[in-house]
Amino acid sequence: QLEIGEPQTALESALEAVKLDPYRERTHRCLMRAYAATGNRAKAVAAYHDFRALLAKEVGTDPEPETEALYLKILD
């Protein structure tokens, strides 16, 4: 939906996808992109930090390099 210019729809879809599979990193990246596309950079950053904490606590790992790169891009 982001590609066709519907960031709000993309955000709603990403929120639902994260609820269904909270460990799927790709959906968290979609959520971060959707928040950024709707102008809510703070929520995009918070989504990253929430996911990073989840991975650290439950799986003992860090986010993938692609997720880290997206986070840094959003911060820039």
How confident is the model over 9-53, as pLDDT tens digits? 999 999 999 999 999 999 999 999 999 999 999 999 999 999 999
Q: What residue numbers bound the domain in which 32 lies?
A: 7-75
Structural domain count, the chain: 1
Whether 53 is covered by a domain: the verdict is yes
CATH number at residue 19: 1.25.40.10
Confidence of residue 7 (pLDDT cuts 50, 70, 90): confident
* pTM tops 0.85, yes or no: yes
Give the amino acid at 44. Answer: A
Confidence of residue 69 (pLDDT cuts 50, 70, 90): very high
Q: Which of 67, 19, 74 is nearest to 45 (CA)?
A: 74
Whether 23 is covered by a domain: the verdict is yes
Angle subtended at Cα 11 by Cα 20 and Cα 3, rounded to the nearest 5 degrees: 115
Q: Mean pLDDT throughout 52-56?
A: 97
2 pLDDT more than 80: no
